[in-house]
Structure 1
Amino acid sequence: MAQETVETDAYIDGQENESMQLVVFQLGGEEFGVDIMQVQEIIRMHQGTRIPQAPDYVKGVINIRGNIIVVINLEKILELPIKEEDDDNRIIVVEIGGNILGMTVDSVSEVLSIAKSNVEPAPDMITSKINSDFIKGVGKLDDRLLILLDLENVLTIKQLADVSEVSAARG
């Protein structure tokens, strides 16, 4: 009996087409994606406790099941226009540099899988407006583009140290 070869979407031109799982969210009128492996949970926006003399991008801290989490305003970090909060706002709890923290976003729309072959480096025009260290690339979907954030580079080393300090002071 001859063995039948079945071609699947997993292979293109004989090479494995790896994919990425992303959490897709809106912020400042743009669509962004982050690696789902760095996302611990997504929660509704709720009032946290403000920290006196914290950096302006730190919204405060929240208590999630007994754990104190620092929440940062991602719009301020990325220098995007600040939108008023509404019922769609969410906090994405992520791990960055060994720190667990929350990032505020306008809304979370979906979890999707995108082939790595559909991700290209960000064009120079984009990286001139946003620090290119933040961006892993741009995902090409059927009818839209998705900016892929590199969470490890969203915060500077100093900002990460500040977040750790705020977290330690509250913990």
Structure 2
Amino acid sequence: MEASNVPALRQQGAVSAKAHGPKSGEYLTFRLGSEEYGIDILKVQEIRSYEQPTRIANAPDFIKGVVNLRGVIVPIVDLRLKLNCPSAEYNSFTVVIVLNVKNRVVGAVVDSVSDVLELNRDAIKPAPELSAASVDTSFITGIGSVGERMLILMDIEGLMSSAEMGLMDAAVAA
């Protein structure tokens, strides 16, 4: 699969790129296991086929390593492992979503990319509040409904720049 540009994705049925915030706007949808997620399209730089990254010693399991993307060294995070999905199989549908997070390029491995959807305020419900201390839902901004589809809307910038990820300097993440 060739690298695809985000402008081409926007033409698949999305509108203006001026929508801001987690409530309404355009979302790139992707699958992790049987769940479908959505992230702000404005954070997406490109989508690439998965290639084995160069491993980094002592990195957490969810950081698969780094790749050289046109001269830029990009850390690759497997979101399936980060979000405790039951399995993380690499196949022809596995892709890397290249993100621009706080002026840093980061790759996110997902099972597959679905499409770009425009969601208005009426299609988005607040994220559920779970009282269990072991469940971190801070990166979930809402639940989107499109027909029969349910999308978990993520704050990908918040997730990728969290201290636990270790991908951003403290000064950059603040």
Q: What range describes the TM-score normalised by the shorter chain of this pair?
A: 0.7 to 0.9
- Cα distance in structure 2, aligned partners of 1:57 and 1:97: 20
Q: What SS does structure 2 have at the residue aligned with 1:152? A: helix
The residue number in structure 1 matching 2:31 is 26
- Cα distance in structure 1, aligned partners of 2:44 and 2:64: 19
1:1-40 aligned at under 5 Å gives the runs 19-40=24-45
Letter in 2 for 1:43: R
Do the aligned residues in 2 keep the contact of 1:57 with 1:73 (CA within 8 Å)? yes
Pair 40,126 (structure 1): closer, same or farther in 2 beyond 3 Å = farther
Letter in 2 for 1:61: V
| Structure 2 residue 64 is matched with structure 1 residue 78 | no
Letter in 1 for 2:26: Q
Q: Which residue of the other structure, out of 143, 146, 149, is the alignment partner of 1:141?
A: 146
State the TM-score, normalizing by the size of structure 1.
Answer: 0.77
* Offset at residue 120 of structure 1 (A): 0.7
* Offset at residue 128 of structure 1 (A): 7.6
- Cα distance in structure 1, aligned partners of 2:133 and 2:32: 19
- Cα distance in structure 1, aligned partners of 2:93 and 2:130: 30
**What percent identity do the matched residue pairs reach?**
37
- Cα distance in structure 2, aligned partners of 1:139 and 1:145: 6
Q: What SS does structure 1 have at the residue aligned with 2:75? A: strand
| Number of residue pairs aligned between Structure 1 and Structure 2 | 147
The residue number in structure 2 matching 1:8 is none
* Offset at residue 73 of structure 1 (A): 1.0
Give unmatched runs, 5+ long, in structure 2: 1-22, 170-174
The residue number in structure 2 matching 1:3 is none
Q: What SS does structure 2 have at the residue aligned with 1:123? A: coil
State the TM-score, normalizing by the size of structure 2.
Answer: 0.76
| Structure 2 residue 115 is matched with structure 1 residue 110 | yes
Give unmatched runs, 5+ long, in structure 1: 1-17, 166-171
* Offset at residue 125 of structure 1 (A): 5.6
The residue number in structure 1 matching 2:20 is none
The answer to which structure has the higher helix fraction is 1
Q: Aligned-pair RMSD on alpha carbons?
A: 2.3
